[in-house]
Amino acid sequence: MSDKQEIKVPDIGDFDKVPVIEVLVSVGDEVEKEDSLVTLESDKATMEVPSSESGKVVEVKVAEGDEVGEGDVIAVVEVYESAGDASEGGDEDGKSGDERRKPETASSPGAPDTHSPPARADGNQAVPGWKDDVPPPPVPFDEMDREPGSLPHASPSVRKLARELGVELSGVSGSGRKGRITEDDLKAHVRQAMESGTATAGGAGGAGLNIAAPPQVDFSKFGEVEEEKLSRIKRISGPNLHRNWVSIPHVTQFDEADVTEMEAFRKASKQQAEAAGTKMTPLVFLIKAVVAALKEFPHFNASLSNDGEVLIRKKYFHVGVAVDTPNGLVVPVLRDCDQKGLIELAHELTDLSTRARDGKLKGDEMKGGCFSISSLGGIGGTAFTPIINAPELAILGVSRSEMKPVWDGEQFQPRLMLPLSLSYDHRVIDGADAARFTRFLAEQLEDLRRLLL
Ligand code: CAO
């Protein structure tokens, strides 16, 4: 006997509509009562919506990016009577029905735990299940772009424990039905990692760095101090930056592009850009030059598989741009940059960076990048060493252009020089290739006609 049940969004407190940032199940999946189906994110927090039934998912009614409110149907589950009965006694994680029914919260898999919500300053009761009150939402550096269907199956309690232990669930083998990861699986994984010496300061799935814990210092002994909690973006991006920094062998190649002609062209096009309702900064030229370089050096437009054995080449050209926001760094992605002109890219860049600063980017808009650009040219500096935005293989840092005397073989000429800093993953990219890539990039900027070739 089976019965189809619609699983709906429960009461989400003050919120009318909130975006779905993650769909955790696909059609055909078997779910237990209380298994998470989707993750919702408001401008304040995230929550997982659990299934109210055990059974088989026969329809998924929402997709990432959809906005949902109380009563909206998330999925349809074919309920088996026997499954419903069995789930009452306790699940394979050893939790009782009541324990599992407690609202539990989580960020996207692999994202760091950001629990312990602070007390609400406004005195209102917190919405049950919401993770914390810290503004604003978007997750900047995304994990490997996993298909929703490939997300590891685990109950909220196991996900929570994994986050607390810093374990990436995709690396854990599940012994439950359909590969479901149980608490015992997780503990066995950690035990094995500890025994084989692969535990790291940053988690059990890393590369065996035996780093001493930082010293505990009571700074107030030396003078007055005050504590400020890091923004949610920083608390999420920090561990990702740390992981990328310690797990990728970075090398940074420096070069300079003579952008005297490019700048003259940019200034000459100013009115045209203004007439089109936008403004062209050097960054849009850089995006086009990067696309040309990715075409010329296709192994830069790729990602390394997690086992480090396969290079996944991309046939599309999506470029991420680091945007400095009041709450931290986010990296929206401009898609199909090979198919867009300078003015169109300028429009998109303005739109994305404005929405990034307002905390209004959608999760999807920060996914799928092939290569990132971090431009500090509007601020200053001569060079820096940007951290690769994994799973990408390289990132271009851009500093402020400066008029410099350049020897033309007979005399010094005043030329506007743009500093480029390319950080690359040395596991895939050799130093010579990085030097060629950066030089090629500079040549595109030096003679924009090359971009037409
Ligand atoms: N050299 C000289 N001037 C430059 C320049 C460069 N390389 N890049 C930009 N400028 C100029 C622009 O032309 C603009 O001048 P005008 O107003 O006179 O035209 C001014 O600097 C400000 O530019 P901008 O920063 O507003 O615009 P942008 O397109 O260059 O950058 C954005 C947009 C969103 C990338 C930028 O605002 C930003 O957030 N940058 C910080 C990124 C960051 O934090 N990176 C570090 C991450 S850690 O790796």
| Domains in the chain, CATH or no CATH each | 1-131 (2.40.50.100), 250-452 (3.30.559.10)
Mutating to test ligand 1, I would choose from 375, 385, 389, 422 the residue with most ligand atoms within 8 A of its C-beta, which is 375
- How far, in Å, CA of 149 to CA of 170, rounded? 12
Residue 104 pLDDT > 80, yes or no? no
Q: How many A from CA of 404 to the centre of ligand 1?
A: 20
- Give pLDDT, residue 135: 32
Query: Which pLDDT does position 50 carry in this prediction?
Result: 87
Which residue minimizes the CA distance to atom 6 of ligand 1?
377
In the sheet where 36-41 sits, what is the strand order? 46-50, 36-41, 18-23, 67-68
pLDDT at 268 over 60: yes
Classified as helix, coil or strand, 97 is helix
State yes or no: pLDDT of 59 exceeds 90: yes
Any ligand 1 atom below 6 A from CB of 19: no
Query: How many whole angstroms separate alpha carbon 267 and alpha carbon 273?
Result: 10
Place of tokens 């101090």: 225
Tokens 């909220």 belong to which residue?
A: 156
| Average confidence score pLDDT of the chain | 81
Point out the ligand 1 atom lying closest to the alpha carbon of residue 418: 7
Query: Is ligand 1 within 6 A of the CB of residue 282?
Result: yes
- State if residue 444 touches ligand 1 by the CB under 6 angstroms criterion: no
Tell me, in angstroms, the distance from the centre of ligand 1 to residue 354's CA: 13
Residue 383 Cβ contacting ligand 1 at under 6 Å:
no
**Whether residue 105 has its Cβ less than 6 Å from ligand 1:** no
pLDDT band at 138 (very low <50, low <70, confident <90, very high): very low
Q: What angle do CA 14, 57, 8 make, to 5 degrees?
A: 20
Cβ of 374 less than 6 Å from ligand 1: yes
- Which residue type, as a one-letter code, is found at position 278? T
In this structure, which long-range contacts are made by residues 358-362, counting pairs with CB atoms below 8 Å and at least 24 apart in sequence? 359/43, 359/135, 359/136, 359/137, 359/138, 359/325, 359/327, 361/138, 361/330, 361/332, 362/19, 362/65, 362/138
pLDDT digits (tens, 9 = 90+) for 366-403: 999 999 999 999 999 999 999 999 999 999 999 999 99
Q: What percentage of the chain reaches a pLDDT higher than 90?
A: 54
Residue nearest to atom 23 of ligand 1 (CA): 378
Task: Report d(CA 285, CA 449) in Å as an integer.
Answer: 12
Calculate ∠ Cα 66-70-74, nearest 5°: 50
Please give the number of the atom of ligand 1 that sits closest to the Cα of 398: 7
Identity (one letter) of the amino acid at 194? Answer: M
Query: How far apart are the C-alpha atoms of 146 and 95, rounded to whole Å?
Result: 28
Q: Based on C-alpha coordinates, what's the Rg of the chain?
A: 25
Q: Residue 65's pLDDT band (boundaries 50, 70, 90)?
A: confident
Span 266-276, average pLDDT: 94
User: Can 250 be counted among the known catalytic residues?
Assistant: no
Tell me which residue has its CA closest to atom 11 in ligand 1: 378
Is residue 329 in contact with ligand 1, taking CB distance under 6 Å?
yes
Tell me the average pLDDT across 329-344: 96
pLDDT at residue 290, rounded to an integer: 98
Per-residue confidence (pLDDT) for residue 1, from 0 to 100:
54
Specify the residue for token string 């296709």: 298
Distance from Cα 379 to the centre of ligand 1, integer Å: 7
Q: Is 59 in the pocket of ligand 1 (CB under 6 A)?
A: no
Asked whether 342 lines ligand 1 (CB < 6 A), one says no
The pLDDT assigned to 132 comes to: 37
Beta strand 412-425 with 402-407 is: antiparallel
pLDDT of residue 405: 98
- How far apart are the CA of 324 and the centre of ligand 1, in A? 10
Query: Among 35-44, 51-60, 334-343, which stretch is predicted with the lowest mean pLDDT?
Result: 35-44
Ligand 1 centroid, distance to 201 Cα (angstroms): 35
Return phi, psi of residue 174, to 5°. Answer: -95, 135
Characterise 65 by phi-psi region: left (phi > 0), alpha (psi -120 to 50), beta (else). Answer: left
> How many A from CA of 375 to the centre of ligand 1?
6
Which one is predicted more confidently, 28 or 175? 28
CA 378 to ligand 1 center in whole angstroms: 3
Q: How confident is the model at residue 23 (pLDDT cuts 50, 70, 90)?
A: confident
Higher-pLDDT residue of 38 and 149 is 38
User: Does the pLDDT at position 114 exceed 80?
Assistant: no
- Which of these is catalytic: 153, 318, 347, 426? 426
Contact 280/262 with Cβ under 8 angstroms? no
Q: C-alpha angle with apex 359: 353 to 363, nearest 5 degrees? A: 85
* Measured distance CA(243)–CA(324) in Å, rounded: 20
- In this predicted structure, the answer to whether residue 444 has a pLDDT above a threshold of 70 is yes
Q: Which of 283, 287, 441 to mutate to test the pocket of ligand 1 (most atoms within 8 A of CB)?
A: 283
Q: Which residue has the higher pLDDT, 193 or 71?
A: 71
Report H helices in 257-399.
260-268, 270-275, 282-296, 342-357
Which is it for the CA torsion 293, 298, 303, 307, positive or negative?
negative
pLDDT range class, residue 428, cuts 50, 70, 90: very high
- 52 close to 79: Cβ distance less than 8 angstroms: no
**C-alpha 443 – ligand 1 centre gap (Å):** 21
Residue 418: strand pairing partners: 257
Using pLDDT thresholds of 50, 70 and 90, give the confidence band for residue 86: very low
Check if the beta carbon of residue 167 is closer than 8 Å to that of residue 205. Answer: yes
Query: What distance separates the 2 farthest-apart alpha carbons in the chain?
Result: 90
Contact 84, 54 (CB under 8 A): yes
Q: Is the CB of 353 under 6 A from ligand 1?
A: yes
Kindly report the number of other CB atoms within 10 A of residue 339's CB atom: 10
Element (H, E) at 161: helix 156-165
